Amino acid sequence: MAKINFGGTEENVVTREEFPLAKAQEVLKDETIAVIGYGVQGPGQALNLKDNGFNVIVGQRKDSKTWDKAVADGWEPGKTLFPIEEALDKGTIIQYLLSDAGQIAVWPTVEKYLKPGKALYFSHGFGVTYKERTGIIPPKDVDVILVAPKGSGTSLRRMFLEGRGLNSSYAIFQDATGKAFDRVVALGIGVGSGYLFETTFQKEVYSDLTGERGTLMGAIQGIFAAQYEVLRSNGHSPSEAFNETVEELTQSLMPLVAENGMDWMYANCSTTAQRGALDWWKKFRDASMPVFKELYSEVAKGNEAQRSIDANSQSDYRVKLEEELKELRESEMWNAGAAVRQLRPENQKK
């Protein structure tokens, strides 16, 4: 295992060089990987594993949209696509990729099929970390492991098809067989990870919930909305407000950050932009710090987990979710964004 210096702190990292695909295939050559759930992470991970030469089956509810999606993706009923219980019975590694609420609901069924020596695999530490709230307590005689790609299943699949990799964290909650490390790393390589960095189930879920509610999704939408509204209230047009708030960031500046860091992006902007950014970033840090501290505290206390469980377990959850997404989609800012995207050169009719 390599030790990489991240900003002055050495961390354990597994790279493709030290754990190549051929080694991963050898480790898992006698395993049947049963992917349970074909929603967000399931398709990307299952298809990447399949394309990488592993023995993969999918378990899904029959007569569901996700069953139909699996069939459309090339999984064959009775050969590589099965009802959930049949897939659980066949699998030696159970990739439990249902939503957090779905995992709670299906856990009594899954638990029945966790025979000694099997592995229970997660891509989120939620169910195990908040076991008092979820009831997900794995038996002691199975490996309990985690690979959490740092992005959506869609991104994982797209990057795989482009010959790239999405970095992932890995964790071992329970090593019942003595093979948990090799199993988890092999699976991480198999699903298409660029590299794997070490974490724990608890740290993964705490950082993940904070990130989703923070800079990755919640905070960024809040910042977008605030700046857009200030520009609009001061007489700027919707197109100008959107371009200066969202479009320039996503299309021009963030690719530079991804390429070589924030200082590189600053260095490739005008001196006026550099001066303003350097003068103002700490003010934004100081203004948002109390909100992030409150957020992390709510995550650590389990309150955010409980909110998710309560909301996502409701029978009308998807109806209410669509209403909230519709509010975003139909806001002036994102309506302006739809028009701006249509005007990108690559979207113009030739």
44 CB-contact burial (10 Å; exposed 0-12 / middle 13-18 / buried 19+): buried
**Partners of 149 in the beta sheet?**
168
Ramachandran bin of 261, using left for φ above 0, alpha for ψ from -120 to 50, beta for the remaining angles: left
Our answer to whether residue 124 is catalytic in this structure is: yes
Can you tell me the distance from the alpha carbon of 13 to that of 15, in angstroms, rounded to the nearest whole number? 6
Residue 248 marked ligand-binding: yes
Can you tell me the distance from the alpha carbon of 39 to that of 125, in angstroms, rounded to the nearest whole number? 17
| CB-based contact 194:167 (threshold 8 Å) | yes
Three-class SS of residue 262? helix
For the record, the structure tokens of 186 come out as 């092999």
Ramachandran bin of 302, using left for φ above 0, alpha for ψ from -120 to 50, beta for the remaining angles: left
Q: Half-sphere exposure of residue 72, counting CA atoms within 13 Å on the CB side? A: 8
Residue 244 marked ligand-binding: yes
| CB-based contact 126:150 (threshold 8 Å) | no
Catalytic residue among 124, 183, 213, 232: 124
| Number of residues that this document lists for the chain | 350
Helix ranges (DSSP H) in the chain: 21-27, 42-51, 65-72, 84-90, 100-112, 126-129, 131-134, 153-161, 180-190, 201-213, 218-233, 238-242, 248, 254-260, 262-267, 271-300, 303-312, 317-329, 332-342
Residue 212 marked ligand-binding: yes
| CB-based contact 245:231 (threshold 8 Å) | yes
**Per the annotation, where are the binding residues?**
208, 212, 244, 248, 270
**Per the annotation, where are the binding residues for substrate?**
270
**Per the annotation, where are the binding residues for Mg(2+)?**
208, 212, 244, 248
Catalytic positions are 124
